[in-house]
Structure 1
Amino acid sequence: MASTDLSRAASPAEPDRAAGAPKARDPEREAALGLGGLVPPAEALPDVLPTDRLLAGGKPVPELRAELRRIPNARNALSVVSVLVQAFGVIALAVWIDHPLAWVAAFVLMGRSFALFAILAHEAAHRLLFSKRWANDFIGRWVLAYPAFVPFDAYRRSHFAHHRDELGPDEPDLALYARYPITRDSWRRKLTRDAVGISGWKNLKGLLLAVRSPTARPVALRILGTQAVLLAGFTLAGRPELYLFLWLAPWMTVWRVLNRLRAVAEHGGMTRSPDRRETTHHVDQHWPARFWIAPFNTGWHLAHHVDMGVPFRHLPALHDELVAAGWVTPEATHPDYLALWRACASRPTTS
């Protein structure tokens, strides 16, 4: 769910999801674009499907799919509330403690809060947050996406293009995923640009410039209007500076780092293929990473790409089915995020 920049997310049209599977691998294209550098070896990708529970591409058979596609509305409502409580609770706690270490901790934790907003907005973009479409889209836009600077409808269009043909010609984030593995120096430079706000300013500048565009202006004004409401709230509370220090600045810095780390761990170094095991990484999930990098089960990303109609709460169950079938193997699974990031930065430096 990486493409949250209005200038990039607004361009691709929403695809016809029945238009067919992604095209076969193209070695010449991979070489030209720097794709496929971290694809698992063929022996780690056994051809074991279909089974009595899974179809050829890994999707569940209709009976199982109906079970896995149930949307738990009440639990998802609690998740939305929890995001708001965590975000504004962090700010309130920092104000109450009023200690330098508390302010630093709040700054970092607010970067994580934007991950929570964005990932539930991603769930709403898939129309999986609530079964009633009006509630799904209203909460997805106004409660989750716009506070986190996400152009909800434009993101939905580009994200469906991403799902229809990962790393294909219409991939909105191809530059984010290509050229891996890279050198450690290149990896360090990317993360430094994120951490000091260079990447964040690029995104913010794109939002501000979108006001000049007749097509992008409406959503840009909605996002900016939502930010104005937040600033007004902090001002009425007597602390307008908190909007800059604990809202805008963490979004421009900490969130950019977390977003890159997660996005690269999803598709970095992979390639266009009808086999989702060649487009999407799977990383064993552990609690620290689930807290910081991949909350709301977004770390079960291969299962999400196998069947994007399965709500996030059921992705571990779908993943278990893929493992039980022998389709997801230990050899094609990264033991943790650190191991995957080390692989992403494993290209030797040439003199």
Structure 2
Amino acid sequence: MSTYSLSPARRAELNQKSNWRGTLEVAKDWTLVIAGFAISLAWPHPLSYVLSVFLLASAMAGFAILQHETAHRSLFATPSLNEWIGEYLAALPILQSMPGYRAYHMVHHRLAGTPDDPDRIMTESYPVSPGSLKRKLWRDISGQTGIKSIIGLMGMYAGYWKYELTGKVERLMPAPQGVSGYAKKFIANNGHIAILWQFAIWGALYALGNGWLYGLWAIAFIFVLPTCMRIRQIADHAVVADPLSKNPLMHARSTSANWFEKLLFAPHYEHYHLEHHLMPTAPCWHLPKLHAELKAAGVIPEQNQATSLLDVLRRATISTT
């Protein structure tokens, strides 16, 4: 079994937080949002609309990772910035809840490498046949997954379902009492702010004379983002050396990524997922340094290293030839 130990001094160095660097990471995604809409506003054309959708989906994928970083309290040195920005500038614009995600995600880290890991359901069936993978991706690309996620997220805001991102459905008990009870829970969970974000984006575009461009945001969320998330889930934990080992070097993957993969599928260094599991509290921008150390030490199993996301998808399918 591969093992690796960091000195206390090195661990402290890799855990160093930074307000200015956290601000830069947030600015990257909001710049993509502005650029995504600006392109179609300045050059209305079908090709511009396609490019806008991909840029907006990239921003959304980035927001999901920023939510993840703030859930680990690793994006900013100032705790209040982690809480406020993680919720209001990362999670809520994409209909998520950072506190809900934190509670759910911490269980994943605590139980990773065990049969009780709540995220295991998303990767335990791999490798699958090419046909099975195509069917899964088609559910994402066709919008089926996106529509279900919107319904699920609204229900989770209202306290109808337990916060869960694996597709499992579990009623939250005790249930709120009546319509007013669900409404109060919805507001308490900031569901109304998630909705207000959608109106704010539409309103800004409407003020510029193109409110209909909000449709590009909706398309990115419903049709593109779920596909990005599935591929990322496969890359993180599917077909690894030992999915039932508590050792992060065995149950998670480190993947090389080109600029396009980083933009759409692995923003904020997310492709260094093995490194993240080894040091969950390290800010994302320190993960390449940790990866270099692990690589030099030769402790990452070959099966847990991939040259690209396409390489991961090849490994996640069973050859029929």
Length-normalised TM-score, structure 1: 0.78
Alignment of 1:179-328 (within 5 A): 179-210=125-156, 211=158, 213=160, 214=176, 217=186, 218-219=188-189, 220-243=191-214, 245-270=215-240, 271-328=243-300
Percent of aligned positions with the same letter in both sequences?
30
What is the match of residue 173 of structure 2? Answer: none
Alignment of 1:47-126 (within 5 A): 47=2, 49=3, 54-55=4-5, 60-126=6-72
Higher relative contact order (CA 8 A, sep 6+): 1
Q: Indicate the SS of the match to 2:16.
A: coil
Alignment of 1:122-141 (within 5 A): 122-141=68-87
1:332 shift after superposition:
4.1
Distance 2:39 2:130 in 1: 37
Distance 2:299 2:264 in 1: 28
Distance 1:125 1:284 in 2: 24
Length-normalised TM-score, structure 2: 0.85
Distance 1:296 1:273 in 2: 26
Q: Which runs of 5+ in 2 are unaligned?
A: 161-175, 177-181
1:152 aligned to 2:98? Answer: yes
Are the aligned partners of 1:161 and 1:170 in contact in 2 as well (CA < 8 Å)?
A: no
1:272 shift after superposition:
2.4
Distance 2:303 2:199 in 1: 49
Moved more, 192-201 or 77-86: 77-86
Distance 1:127 1:289 in 2: 25
Letter in 2 for 1:287: W
Q: Which runs of 5+ in 1 are unaligned?
A: 1-45
Letter in 1 for 2:223: T
| Greater percentage in helix | 2
Are the aligned partners of 1:90 and 1:109 in contact in 2 as well (CA < 8 Å)?
A: yes
What is the match of residue 171 of structure 2? Answer: none
Distance 1:225 1:168 in 2: 39
Aligned length: 294
Pairwise CA RMSD = 2.0
Distance 1:192 1:285 in 2: 23
Are the aligned partners of 1:181 and 1:347 in contact in 2 as well (CA < 8 Å)?
A: no
